[in-house]
Amino acid sequence: MKKVEDYIITIPDFPEKGVMFRDVTGVLDSGEGLQLSIDELYKLLSGVEYDVIAGVESRGFIFGMPLAYKAAKPFVPVRKKGKLPRETVEETYNLEYGTATIEIHKDSIRPGQRVVLIDDLMATGGTMEAAAHLIERCGGVVVKMLFLLELEGLNGRQKLSKYDVSSVVSYPGK
């Protein structure tokens, strides 16, 4: 029986020499791979009490929506600044060479709601930390962070150490 990592394509020396790029679109190219990845992510929610699933743009949408559907929970999109039409709450965070801003609708999370945050990849953890701050500023409680893939060498878990973090597949290095 295949595992999720069998569908992740490794591309050496992309985008620069020495980097092993882990391409999760191989999971999406296969119905079996996609189904397996959603099932494995869903297993990581076993025993977790939550009210809402929030996914970070854009691949957090891809994996978060089927989870929300499967669990019959609402889905909240965490978007790049300027993409949402109603009143928003935003969070700016540092990137390697600059900053980025993400936002959610102000009324998407109600005080006390338990939220699962999901994205496809944990690298440095900066985007997910910013998403958690958005949830918390709205009064929500982040009860779980899910990732399909984790790059251990970028130390994202350290940045997210105050949260319950799980990933389906982990790779050493960057």
Along the chain (174 residues), what's the average pLDDT of each consecutive run of 10 residues? 94 89 94 96 98 96 97 98 96 88 97 98 95 97 98 94 98 86
pTM of the model: 0.95
Please report the pLDDT score of residue 41 as a whole number.
98
Please report the pLDDT score of residue 18 as a whole number.
84
Tokens 């999720």, located at residue:
4
Spatial CA neighbour of 146 closest among 173, 122, 110: 122
Q: Tell me the C-alpha distance between 30 and 49, whole Å.
A: 30
Tokens 């939550």, located at residue:
50
Neighbouring-strand partners of residue 78 = 56
Active site residue 110: no
Tokens linked to 128: 């997910």
Contact 117, 144 (CB under 8 A): yes
Catalytic annotation, pick one of 22, 59, 103, 129 = 59
Tokens 């944990």, located at residue:
122
Active site residue 32: no
Catalytic annotation, pick one of 16, 49, 87, 96 = 96
Please report the pLDDT score of residue 167 as a whole number.
98
